[in-house]
Structure 1
Amino acid sequence: MCGIAGIFHLDTPKPVDPARVKQMLDALAHRGPDGEGVWTAPGVGLGQNRLAIIDLATGQQPMHSADGRLTVVFNGEIYNYRELRVDMETWGAEFRTQSDTEVILHGWRRWGPACLDHFTGMFAFALFDADQQCLFMARDRLGVKPLFFTELPDGAVLFGSELKALLAHPRLRRSPDLSAVEDFLGLGYVPDDACIVAGVKKLPAGHHMTLRRNHRLPEPQRWWDIAFPADARGSAKDLEHQLTDYMRMAVRSRMVSDVPLGAFLSGGVDSSSVVALMAEASRSAVETCSIGFDQPDLDETSHARLVAERFATHHRERVVSPDDFGLIDTLVHHFDEPFADASALPMYRVCELARERVTVALSGDGADEALAGYRRHRFFVAENRARGMFGNQMSGRVFGALGRAYPKADWAPRPLRAKSTFQALAQSPEEAYARAIGFTAPEIRARLFTPEATRALGGHRAEARIEAAMRNAPATDWLGRAQYADMTVWMPGDILTKVDRMSMAVGLEAREPLLDHKLLAFEASLPQPMRLRGGQGKWLMKHAMRRYLPEDILYRPKMGFVTPISAWFRGPLAGEADRIARGAALANTGWFRPEELSRIANEHRTGRADHGRLLWQLLMLDKSLTRLFGA
């Protein structure tokens, strides 16, 4: 795991100043505290900060082929590198290191861009081929590892693991992208196809691109996609065995490490399953860690402790206060772009705790998206059944009228909060799901923006990409379409961004075995009742894990990291709410109505409404704009 950065000249191969690359690397020092390397040649410069995980002695980067033709910088891990190495040696490849990085060099020489199909892992890398005078950049299937890039006016292309690496280059012009602000307000993060800094892009998950001399900057090319064919056949018991085998192989492949390794353990189904399979494969006790809270209704440590005792792990836990808002500026620094998922706060703390003992930690991320484990999936399937009973046109008329007439009742018990359900039923499935997965509703954003900002957006909507993903999804049912949007929009934009930035902030490598692409392909082939049955998400996984885990772990309500942000803005962060109301950086942009910002802050402070999530989002946006643009 590391941070990578570099410069490539598309036109004249001008000399690259190593100090420029070094300056970009310095911004990524937290990602790789174990070493640094810079290499330059006419028209190209590559650099890497190293977090040493595999081959501590000879795995330094940038790494060159024996003949000097190829040079690569690489962030991530190739989990099947040992098997690839054996295959490569049979056709004459000679290895000089024990590193997984070296298989990228030999893979490119043999297969070119098709080498990606042979790699199992998480990665973002840039490879320079001196013979072809090209720079090949690639990102892993799911987007576990990030890669930003931009073209300067002089034809130089900058790339780096985080936005801050590009911002370290003095010739990058900084101006905010209003459409990315709309995306952030609508989704809670800036998605893979956007960036808060105008002109900067992210190489999308499952894409590659080849930069060539005397050619324009190309469009990224997709090399991998997930499909939900729901065509698996076999009894539930047979499918259980297959699922367990795929999970077992995914976990074991991610336990390869030359440094101490452990796992996050929340006590939920996913992390508990990973720990169970790690314990099965390990001769020594697994290192596990959990974060607890000093509020009983938010604390899951008793469940984590139960799993730790069951598998005799070396377990550590730390109780922290949910009032951990002192990390706000740390979050803003590490995310660069505004990021509204408040679970980043406890995520940082659990990474911090893990790093005290281990350098690599396995997480349980991915199962909810792959196997329909979120409550929104259950609601979506139920809503679609209702739509099927009435038909689309009748649903729009009947439920649209009910949605307009029914009072908003956030204070009421959940069964009585029908307004949002009626509104969802009045929409198409993709419109309803885009709203369900969103953060701030379109009508609220419409009130926030000034008329000038609305005109400048030109009809751009944050939800449009989710709707398009669902319409174009390679899936045979609506649940698969929703899950496809989860995997291609939500997962890289929110979940994986959070895990990458918070783990890298403390020099920890996080691995997600439940995002193994072979495991995902199998799960996506399962018929809908094997994913979601009787209102129970992850149905087959829970059945498969009964031999490992007790029922009160498998079937307890899902919690996740919770932070009391609404209470913060009526207490210790009330001053921040007032600052937002008075304007701060947000008002200086000219994008937001000052009277609307003031209304939101005042209603929340006086208890007339709960705008806690929106205030948190506005605070993150305000601080990010100030840091990036001095707004």
Structure 2
Amino acid sequence: MRPEILLASVAVDFGETEWFTESWERVVRSMTLGKAGDVGHGRSPGAALAWREAKPVPAGRSVQMRRTPVRMQEDGSTTILAGRLYRTDELATRFGLPSSTDPADIYARVHARYGDACDTIIVGDYAALQWFPQTRTLRLARSPTSSMPLHVWREGERLVVSSLPGPILASGVPSRINDDHLADTLLLNTLDGVSSWYAGMHRVPSGTCEIHDPSGIRRRRFWSIGEVPEVRFATDSEYVEALDDLFEEAVRETMHGASTPAILLSGGFDSQAVASYAVGNLGDGTPLRSFTSIPMAGHITPDRPHVFGDESDHVRALCAMYPRIEPHFVDAADYTYGERQARHLLVGGWPALNESNVHWVHAAMERASGLGCDVLLTGNYGNAGFSYDGLTGYPDWLRSGQWARLLREIGKSPDERPFWRKLLSMAVMPHVPLAWRRRIDRHRRWRASPFTDWCSMREHYARQSGALARADAIGADIDFYDVRSSAEWRRSVAESLASLTPEIDLGFRLLYGLPSRDPTAYPPLLAFCAGVPDEQYLRDGQSRWLARRLLKGRVPDMVWQEERAGAQSLDWPVRFSRDRERLLGDLTAMKDDPRLADVFDLDRMIATLAEWDGTDHPASRSGTRINSGIGRGMAMARFVSFVEGRNVG
């Protein structure tokens, strides 16, 4: 069996010139950045292909670039599979293959029998590239919730596809920012998995198959979290039993092959659940090393009754319950804002939107890698799945005529407002069109404009660039109103994660040589949770009812009974106060660049940071204005400068 593949690239000529010959060495060399394995490359009629092994080369040895014969299937096609397949033994048995069969060959065999329906049969976390020279067809596919991205550039008969943008740029494509994507992202309109940061490129969304041939492009979505089958059982307990079985399977499959696992562990439901199942899948004597963000010295916890920022007590309680968890607490006190951003961009070419919240991820991954960990578990998709709070049940029960259930749950809600106010706010208002809700709230002081609060973009640019019109056209809610259904909520969470995180995570992996895997993104588990009815998530006024029943006895009582939300990086006032003068200098320098000054409201950002009193009082909205607005704005401005070679900030 061949080693796992991390990165893949292919250049295709649908004509007769093989235009890529001159630039192909640069493409291959661009794939050697960061901590991963050797790069193999070869030719097939009409195409050049390259792949990089996932396992990092031994310390002290440089990455090798080896030209090798391209492996072909019986029909002459070539398949490269970046990522991993799950249930491979089951697939091999079903299709009469040895258990040692390479995952790419398994994928090719299933595709040969079932065609484009193969991705509904195969379970994995992958990106597949298949070149069929006889028909001059390139087929691309990404699994549901795939963490393996695919970027595409096509101009007439010339085509380049790669896991990251760098190899496409190395082929000679100009490095320019896609201004629409920049404006949409600054407005947090991030559900589009096709749009790219780079002008002229696009991405293949997760759960999608895309086919290129001389006639053009065809794209088909084969999976969406909003279109999964309903799950219905006769009793409440059956939902918990089925969830328990699927969670165990998800953790077992995502941990397969790991010998020294670690986990990003918080005090919340998602990572605590993953940790509790992971302990049961450890080898003899193997610890599960956990890494938890804690506030740095000098942090003063703001008065927010629904949020807690130091999750160490919840983590210690879990460690007491499972002694094989070895806790490590990370304050990343010596990391300044954006300190690792340039390195991250160099290997990944993609920005972290919340740059002010990634310092502890850098610190945790660096420490885990130094301790020899070979997998880092996460629980990022939990809120879209098993730990969903169920609060969209109110408008959905109103819409579907389940009025007795609606009135009972409104009455049992812990919300202290009068019954009629709760009914209007929680069940009726989510159905009111966005434009009407904005008119209603126009003069309410607590409903701040994005352009005086969390958005660093100039309002004039948001209108001129069409960002506001695009958001309105697709119903993107930049005011964060309550949504009408669980399907809508899950779509917003899952598709935003699928759009924002794969390239960022791949950049982290190349920086530290450590893969992250998310059992809560396991497609069968996520599909099951999305098919479960709202009344399993909200019952008798208790939110997250399904998750609480699953976790009772599995995690500490203080965790599964917790009503507050855990939050990382609540020590941001200490960090921004420390870095303020340097950040003000960077923002002032950006004003001299007309390109940046046209997009970003630099005067407002400078005034906000300069006049800030250094605290995090909820009434001042400093958290959204500085931590979100300035934190995101500076990261995006620096990224624009990185891509376009602008020497500012």
Q: For the superposition of Structure 1 and Structure 2, which TM-score range results when normalised by the shorter chain?
A: 0.7 to 0.9
The structural deviation recorded for 1:65 is: 3.6
Corresponding residue for 1:525? 531
Distance 1:63 1:553, change over 3 A: farther
Aligned residue runs from structure 1 range 431-510, under 5 A: 440=450, 448-450=458-460, 454-457=463-466, 460-462=469-471, 464-465=473-474, 467=476, 478-488=485-495, 490-510=496-516
Deviation string 1:384-437 (CA, Å, 9 cap, x unpaired) is: 9425776789999997677344434xxxxxxxxxx46xx9xxxxxxxxxxxxxx
Deviation string 1:240-273 (CA, Å, 9 cap, x unpaired) is: 1111011111111222216543433334321221
Take 1:210 and 1:397, find their aligned partners in 2: how far apart are those partners?
A: 38
Corresponding residue for 1:310? 321
Corresponding residue for 1:437? none
Corresponding residue for 1:368? 383
2:140 is paired with a residue whose SS is strand
Q: Is the 8 A contact 2:247 2:525 kept in 1?
A: yes
Corresponding residue for 2:160? 158
Aligned residue runs from structure 1 range 212-291, under 5 A: 212=213, 214-216=214-216, 218-226=217-225, 227=227, 232-257=232-257, 260-284=260-284, 285-291=286-292
Q: Is the 8 A contact 1:367 1:538 kept in 2?
A: no
User: Structure 1: 5+ residue runs without aligned partners?
Assistant: 54-59, 409-418, 424-439, 470-474
Distance 1:275 1:457, change over 3 A: same
Distance 1:183 1:75, change over 3 A: same
Distance 1:4 1:597, change over 3 A: same
Take 2:19 and 2:186, find their aligned partners in 1: how far apart are those partners?
A: 41
| 1:339 counterpart = 2:329 | no
Take 1:322 and 1:483, find their aligned partners in 2: how far apart are those partners?
A: 35
2:51 is paired with a residue whose SS is strand
Aligned match of 1:9 in 10, 13, 19? 13
The structural deviation recorded for 1:151 is: 1.2
Q: Is the 8 A contact 1:76 1:124 kept in 2?
A: yes
Q: Is the 8 A contact 1:65 1:71 kept in 2?
A: yes
Distance 1:258 1:515, change over 3 A: closer
Tell me the TM-score normalized by structure 1: 0.81
Q: What is the percentage of aligned positions where both structures have the same residue?
A: 15
Corresponding residue for 1:415? none
| 1:133 counterpart = 2:136 | yes
Tell me the TM-score normalized by structure 2: 0.79
Distance 1:549 1:568, change over 3 A: closer
2:579 is paired with a residue whose SS is coil
Aligned match of 2:559 in 528, 536, 553? 553
Deviation string 1:590-616 (CA, Å, 9 cap, x unpaired) is: 6337xx421331132112763312111
The structural deviation recorded for 1:168 is: 2.0
Take 2:395 and 2:427, find their aligned partners in 1: how far apart are those partners?
A: 14
Q: Is the 8 A contact 1:21 1:47 kept in 2?
A: no
Moved more, 115-124 or 345-354: 345-354
Q: Is the 8 A contact 2:40 2:52 kept in 1?
A: yes
Distance 1:198 1:380, change over 3 A: farther
1:4 is paired with a residue whose SS is strand
Corresponding residue for 2:522? 516
| 1:183 counterpart = 2:193 | no
The structural deviation recorded for 1:2 is: 0.7
Q: Is the 8 A contact 2:36 2:513 kept in 1?
A: yes
Take 2:23 and 2:143, find their aligned partners in 1: how far apart are those partners?
A: 27
Q: Is the 8 A contact 1:338 1:621 kept in 2?
A: yes
Aligned residues: 578
1:219 is paired with a residue whose SS is strand
| 1:300 counterpart = 2:304 | no
The structural deviation recorded for 1:442 is: 9.4
For 2:88, the aligned partner's letter is Y
Moved more, 387-396 or 79-88: 387-396
Corresponding residue for 1:211? 212
Take 1:234 and 1:115, find their aligned partners in 2: how far apart are those partners?
A: 32
User: Structure 2: 5+ residue runs without aligned partners?
Assistant: 57-66, 302-308, 397-414, 416-420, 614-619
The structural deviation recorded for 1:206 is: 0.7
Aligned match of 1:624 in 639, 643, 647? 639
Take 1:307 and 1:156, find their aligned partners in 2: how far apart are those partners?
A: 54
Corresponding residue for 2:125? 122
Could you say what the CA RMSD is over the residues aligned between the two structures, in angstroms? 3.7
